[in-house]
Amino acid sequence: MKVLSEIIKNRYFIKCAVLTDGNERKKTENRAINLKRDYEKPYRNIEVSINKETFEKELIEVNKDGKGKKVVLQALNSTRPKLGIEEYKSEFAFNLGMNLKNR
């Protein structure tokens, strides 16, 4: 944690984005709140936004039609063709990134 604090404080990074969610009744429930507390307050160059839904649900909702729909469907199909993605969120995010990169 100390090394990360030094990197942030001295601005040794150019740009960074971290997407996470906190699922109710799971051990990650307060993760976003904790990130906001730990990083946004001490470092003015970091902003933490907390959404109501999970990243995947919001991503799918925003891309129900248009260009994004095909990319999201390809990522979902690559991840779990017949089942949901509840236990495969990391794999879904990776597949989505690969589909976006290959466009």
Nearest by Cα to 48 from 76, 95, 85, 16: 16
Give per-10-residue mean pLDDT for the chain (103 aa). 67 66 74 82 74 76 84 79 68 80 76
Note the pLDDT of residue 46.
Answer: 75
pLDDT digits (tens, 9 = 90+) for 84-103: 666 777 787 788 888 787 77
Which tokens in the block code for residue 20?
A: 């996470």
Query: Is residue 73 a contact partner of residue 96, using CB atoms and an 8 Å limit?
Result: no
Note the pLDDT of residue 16.
Answer: 65
CA 60 – CA 65 distance, rounded (Å) = 9
Cut 0.85: pTM above it: no
Single-letter residue type at 103: R
Note the pLDDT of residue 100.
Answer: 80
